[in-house]
Amino acid sequence: MNWQHLSMVSPYQTAVAIHEELMKGNVAEADHGILELIETLSRSEKRALKSQLIRLMKHIIKWESQPARRSRSWIASIHGARNEIRDIQEETPSLNDKVIHELWEICIATALIEAEAEMNQDSAIERLTWEQVFQRDYSLKS
């Protein structure tokens, strides 16, 4: 069985196929399927983490670059992305802060490109700190 292909197409169908292999007594084949399913799900969660990190960084870049356009929706996006990242980390503990540090440079580069395109201007900043991304309180009160 091509476990890699099946797990990329449908994790559900992969789980069913693993169950069928176990019912037939093919433990080694089922084990291959389980390992591939775990790998696929891990990649999927890592992509979700990366996507939320880019979303978070992009809104902070826009916040810093366009202070006159700050809005409650940007605040909501920042808080929403932070919450999604926390949820992903709780559900997949292997996607810890070390993984975020490994993704940091590629995410900031992508976030800068996306933010500049959305703003139709160059960014006012080139770097973001951990404190800016995960700890700073963003509000319209200032």
Is residue 142's pLDDT more than 70?
no
Between CA 92 and CA 10 the distance in angstroms is 19
What mean pLDDT is predicted for residues 30-55? 90
Is residue 6's pLDDT more than 90?
no
Between CA 92 and CA 38 the distance in angstroms is 11
Between CA 36 and CA 31 the distance in angstroms is 9
pLDDT in the model for residue 39: 83
pLDDT in the model for residue 5: 86
Give tens-digit pLDDT for 11-33.
Answer: 889 889 999 999 999 999 998 88
Between CA 99 and CA 53 the distance in angstroms is 11
CA neighbor of 53 nearest in space, from 101, 85, 75 = 85
Domain ranges across the chain: 3-135
Give tens-digit pLDDT for 96-127.
Answer: 999 999 999 999 999 999 999 999 999 999 99
pTM, entire model: 0.81
The two tokens of residue 11 are: 């994790």
